[in-house]
Amino acid sequence: MPRHFHEQFSEMIIVLSGQIEVEIDGRTLTGKPGDVLHYPRAMPQTERSTGRRALETIFIAWKPGDAVEQLRWPRLRHDHRGRLAMIGTWMYETHPFAPCKGVEWMDQLLWSLLRAYADGDEKSDDAVVTRVKRYIQENLATDLSLDKLAAVACSSRFHFARRFKQSAGISPIRFVRNARLEAARTLLLTTDLPHRKVAEQVGFSDQCNLSRIFRRENGVSPSRFRRRGFE
């Protein structure tokens, strides 16, 4: 699928067979059997099947109730215990009968799926990196330079940057930029704040800086992105 995004829906892809390559959040991810991908609402992505076997997935979409919480979820997680695939299969098998069973039945399965994804094993992040990520999400409008983040981690710049990238897969500065962009997308779609205020609240130096980086990363200007969200 070419580059696209969904204004209202978050998505989850459970890979059953084959292989999928996804460009999202400034990274290229490869999903194989046993992997689960999460696309937050309004985050652009490009997808292609790259394996020799036919790609088979379970696709789930929903209107997120708490977009802020989902900002912290990884884009890809391996389903070590097969729990996510099991719940996803239940949802797939139950879906044709959902009107008979009531919406609550499907809602409970969805809640279980999202909770399992959010609570999945955290082997990819050590405690220090997890603490720094939380600090970033809670302080987007403040100084988040490498020196500041290293101080939060009680580490030298070099050691912290290397540790963060090994754990998170991207540099701390890239993580900060991605978090600010995601927060900007959320504000553009859920508020009528002028772009100048959006830039201030998520930590961009000014409206021009927001527009330049937003267009480069999302392929559209903040104004066009907001208009499309309300079409």
Q: What does pLDDT average to in each consecutive run of 10 residues of the chain (231 residues)? A: 85 93 89 91 89 90 68 81 86 66 71 83 65 90 94 90 86 92 87 93 93 90 80 46
Q: If we measure between CA atoms, which residue out of 31, 89, 98, 104 comes closest to residue 59?
A: 89
Same domain, 80 and 142: no
User: What was the pLDDT predicted at 124?
Assistant: 46
Q: End of a domain among 83, 118, 153?
A: 118
Indicate if 84 and 55 belong to the same structural domain. Answer: yes
Structural domain includes residue 223? yes
Structural domain count, the chain: 2
What's the pLDDT tens digit per position in 196-206? 999 999 999 89
Go through the chain and tell me how many residues it has. Answer: 231
3-state secondary structure of 22: strand
Is position 36 within any domain?
Answer: yes
Query: Are 14 and 101 found together in one domain?
Result: yes
pLDDT value for 69: 58
Residues 158 and 192 in one domain: yes
Q: Is 53 inside any structural domain?
A: yes
**Side by side, which strands form the sheet with 45-49?**
27-31, 20-24, 45-49
Q: According to the model, what pLDDT value does residue 71 have?
A: 64
Residues of the domain holding 16: 10-118
Q: Report yes or no on whether pTM surpasses 0.75.
A: no
- Which DSSP letter does residue 125 get? S
Residue 155 main-chain phi, psi, to 5 deg: -145, 165
Residue 92 covered by a domain: yes
Do 166 and 220 belong to one domain? yes
